A and B are shown apart, each in its own frame.
Chain A
Amino acid sequence: MERIALFATCLTDTLYPATARAVVRLLERLGRAVEFPLDQTCCGQMHFNTGYAAHAEGLARSFASVFAGYDAVVTPSGSCAGMAREVHPKLGAGGVPVYELSEFLVDVLGVTDVGAYFPHRVTYHPTCHSLRVLGVGDKPLALLRAVRGLELVELPLAESCCGFGGTFALKNADTSTAMLADKMRCVLDTGAEVLTSGDNSCLMHIGGGLSRLRAGVRPVHLAEILASTEEDPWAPATR
């Protein structure tokens, strides 16, 4: 594995920089140098999924040229990884070896214990695209189980969609909210203080609902949990 690039995703780069910093910290701790090509922007998923394939095509082509020459592109998003891996080739811009973070750690680096420490009660929401587009399976759970101090509680009906779905959350806001209500009920049933997941988009949705209700559950991306250590433990991001 010569050159590893980070694809931060537009959402994480813009709204959740702590997650991308955590990926850098984690990979460097595991002895891997990671680059961040500054020409990267967006994978085009919003455009493609909303029916603007022509715009998505342009973004897919830029993506392919920005990441050409890397041996692995790691991203803290199951759905953007799915877009790049499954849809970009159909738009004539495939060939980039993209990995969602848990896949990269478990399949490529062969680690499940990354030496993390996170003394909290945590429940995990497996995002739809991680599950059904990428097929990450139990990898994120294996990583979480190896985190010291972490109490993992199973999320009931975990595989049900949270109702985000990109522009679906706006175009069908009522249905999206009904799905969110059921997801929040399941999260609250666990008694967890932290909800984690491999996608900031789903966390933004569920977290946004929990925050509105002052539910006392904090969304934290998987990367931030895995980057947390006893020496340098996770702390809430300052805005």
Chain B
Amino acid sequence: MGTRNPVTWLGSPAFPEAARTALADTQLRRNLRNATTTIRGRRAAAVAELPDWERLRRAGEAIKDRVLAELDTHLERLEAAVTARGGVVHWARDAAEANEIVLRLVGDEREVVKVKSMATAEIGLNEALAAGGVRAVETDLAELIVQLGDDRPSHILVPAIHRNRAEIREIFRRSGLAATGDAPRELAEAARAHLREKFLSCKVAISGANFAVADTGSVVVLESEGNGRMCLTLPEKLITVMGIEKLVPTWQDLEVFLQLLPRSSTAERMNPYTSVWTGVTPGDGPAEFHLVLLDNGRTATLADPTGRQALRCIRCSACLNVCPVYERTGGKSYGSVYPGPIGAILTPQLVDDPHDAQAASLPYASSLCGACFEVCPVRIDIPEVLTHLRARVVSARGRTAESVAMAAAAWVFGDPARYERAQRLGSLARFLGRDGRISRLPGPGAVWTASRDAPVPPRESFREWWRRNRG
């Protein structure tokens, strides 16, 4: 490997520490609570309309699993189909390779427009372009807010979810985009005036892809604003960076996801702007089309039978919106372009470095409440992958104070007589009790009693009572 994977942000602290800072930001807490509560309710209503939602989820899961099982075949079919229609396919092993390819394709242009894309965020493309003297202009409204605010995204679908209207107006004002007020319409108007100019002047556009159909080589982007479509149709050259797992075999398969994705992400029955293109069409849209197929840790992820289900993800964000941890800490605490429950299982696998302490903290950023699995449109069993990745972290760390304590606990639980002796010993903690509560525990227990009382152990355990009364 050599170079670090830019899927995590350099210098980000481990999750517990980042979360502590975020939790103290009262404005952030309120913004997130309002936004996630609203979108959660809307999603539930949109999903409840479909009597066959569970069957759709199972279909989505099955299609993605089939693709992943035969990924090599489908990718070669896709390459052949794209090439046959006049597109050029490039293969990128990692972020550095992908960035290099894109920079070379941009050529002498100094400014490019971008469609909102997770894959290009994952590889740190904007930073790589800037280093090569190319300015990337984000055209998705929320992504633009993040870019102008010199900020980081905190949500997969709504990268500026942590901002409210007043904050957005201020960001615009400082960037020279004059908004008459902070009403959504006024803010959108200001962004529109700024972006129109860019659409008409830029000759190169860069996008990601939600799906690609292997049968025909068609690439699909879903968005809500129409700004993506401007980028996909106006410039002369289009460069699309797509993760290798984004494939579906046929158009029939695509139909399932065009139902699952909008309802799960924006709670819409149908996606507002669905752009589909196949290679190039003379006289219609970009004259040049390049598809960069990105691995960046995906093949390694695919090798893990439990972990690979994370590659079914269609980036809907439903798991973020229902996650009680995400709702309170926000997305930036995860230190990665992929926050929330899906980030907690995808990021460490893409990083694939057991000694990266920040990535290793992510699988623990969950109470395992299971709300994410319940809403996932492709049925990724996120709690299952979380515990699986925790086991990987534990085995990579080797001997720690925790592993010694866990081994000791297992040794105690391994024998009823030892267990009972430990119970009797632990019962002595009842002398720490005052008025039926323990307010300060020694050792690691102090973390518990920092915010909660602990129960006073009883004089007699249940098993002692049983032996006395029923034995």
Query: Interface residues, chain A, CB within 8 Å of chain B?
Result: 8, 10, 12-18, 20-21, 24, 36, 38-42, 44, 46-53, 55, 58-59, 62, 128-129, 131-133, 159-161, 163-180, 182, 204-205, 207-209, 211-212, 237, 239
Contacts and interface: CB of A to CB of B under 8 A. Distances in A.
Nearest to B433: A239
Contacts of A159: 371
Given A47-B406, A165-B368, A38 B451 contact: no
B391 A52 contact: yes
Interface in B347-392: 363-371, 373-374, 387, 390-392
Contact of B365 (A133, A172, A204): A172
A179 B324 contact: yes
Contacts of A50: 390, 394, 402, 406
A59 B466 contact: no
A118 to B, nearest CB: 21
Contacts of B467: 38
A198 to B, nearest CB: 15
A170 B70 CA distance: 42
Interface of B: 15-16, 19-20, 23, 324-325, 328-329, 363-371, 373-374, 387, 390-394, 402-403, 406-407, 409-410, 413-416, 419, 423, 426-427, 430, 433, 436-437, 439, 444, 447-448, 450-463, 465-467, 470-471
Nearest to A57: B410
Contacts of A165: 366-369
A194 to B, nearest CB: 16
Contact of A204 (B416, B426, B455): B455
B451 A212 contact: yes
Given A39-B416, A40-B416, A169-B448, 11 more contacts: A14-B427, A59-B413, A128-B369, A161-B367, A165-B366, A168-B366, A171-B16, A174-B23, A175-B325, A179-B367, A239-B430
Nearest to B372: A132
B385 to A, nearest CB: 12
Nearest to A40: B416
Nearest to A90: B384
Contacts of B15: 172
B416 to A, nearest CB: 5
A115 B56 CA distance: 43
B396 to A, nearest CB: 10
A62 B366 CA distance: 28
Nearest to B20: A174
A204 B441 CA distance: 15
B455 A12 contact: no
Contacts of B455: 15-16, 204, 207-208
Nearest to A171: B364
Interface centre among B368, B452, B453 (most CB of A within 10 A): B452
Closest 3 CB pairs of A and B: A165-B367, A208-B452, A51-B390
A216 B17 CA distance: 33
A158 to B, nearest CB: 13
Contacts of B369: 128, 132, 161, 165
Interface centre among A166, A167, A208 (most CB of B within 10 A): A208
B456 A239 contact: yes
A13 B423 contact: yes
Contacts of A42: 413, 419
A91 B23 CA distance: 37
A38 B462 CA distance: 10
SS of A interface (majority):
helix
A170 B447 CA distance: 6
B470 A164 contact: no
Given A173-B451, A175-B19, A47 B444 contact: no
B409 A163 contact: no
A125 B409 CA distance: 29
B204 to A, nearest CB: 42
A14 to B, nearest CB: 5
A163 B369 CA distance: 9
A180 B324 CA distance: 10
A131 B369 CA distance: 9
A12 B463 CA distance: 10
A44 B419 CA distance: 13
Contacts of B325: 172, 175, 179
A52 B406 contact: yes
5 contacts: A15-B457, A44-B413, A47-B410, A49-B387, A175-B365
Nearest to A236: B436
A49 B368 contact: yes
A133 B454 contact: no
Contact of A14 (B363, B407, B450, B457): B457
Given A170-B444, A212-B452, A17 B367 contact: no
A174 B328 CA distance: 10
Contacts of A21: 462, 465
A110 B271 CA distance: 46
Contacts of B414: 41, 58-59, 62
A61 to B, nearest CB: 10
Contacts of B437: 211-212
A34 to B, nearest CB: 9
A204 B444 CA distance: 17
B24 to A, nearest CB: 9
Contacts of B454: 204, 208
B329 to A, nearest CB: 6
Contacts of A13: 423, 461-463
B448 A172 contact: no
B452 A36 contact: no
Contacts of B448: 169-170, 173, 208
B37 to A, nearest CB: 9
